[in-house]
Chains A and B, each alone.
Chain A
Amino acid sequence: GIQVEQSPPDLILQEGANSTLRCNFSDSVNNLQWFHQNPWGQLINLFYIPSGTKQNGRLSATTVATERYSLLYISSSQTTDSGVYFCAVDRTMDTGRRALTFGSGTRLQVQP
C-alpha cells in the first residue's frame, strides 16, 4: 500500500516562531489533506490540497504532486497551535473504493 511519511516527528517551538512540516507519499493520489488533532482528539481539517498552494491566516500549504510531497507552514506560532498535525492522502484502491491513509504525524508543542 501507499506509504505516507511525515517529518519531523516532534517539534518544540517558542511562541512567535515559524515552522515547516513535511509530508512525503509514495504513489499518486486523488487528494491530500492536512489535519490538526487537538489535545482532546478532535480532528480539524486545515486544507484540501491535491496540488498548488493555499493560505488560511497564519497557515499555508503547498503540494507538489509530481514530486509527491506536501508542506505545511505555520507562521507566528501560538500556544493554541499545539497538538498533532497529520497529512492524509486520498486514493482509489484497486477495488474502486476510496480510502484515506494517514501519515505518522508531527507532534507540535508551542511554549509561551
Chain B
Amino acid sequence: KLVESGGRVVRPGGSLRLSCVASGFIFDDYGMSWVRQAPGKGLEWVSGLNGQGGSKYYGDSVKGRFTISRDNAKNSLYLEMNSLRAEDTALYYCVRGFSVSYMDVWGKGTTVTVSS
C-alpha cells in the first residue's frame, strides 16, 4: 500500500514537498517513481529512483526544479517541488516501480494546484 500526502494549493513560483508512506512490502527492495496526471489528461512520469536512492532520473519538464528522495528507515518517498508553475497542477501518484521493474503498485494520489 502507498499513501501520499502534502498536496495543496500553492502560488506560482512556490515550493511544496510531497510524501509517500509505503507498507506491505520490503521498501528498499524496490525502485519508486512519481507519476502525475493533469486534470482530464493522460499520465506523465515525473521522477524515479532506485532502491538505495543512488540513481535518480527526472522528466525533462521538471528537471532542475524537482528533487526526489527516499528514507528507507521510514519506508518513505519524497518529492521536493520548487519554482512551481501552473502546468504542474495535477494529481501526483506515488508508484512502486522504476527502471528494472514495472509500475505495479499505485497510491491514490495527492492533488497539487498551482494558482494565484
Please indicate whether A and B come from the same complex rather than being unrelated chains: no
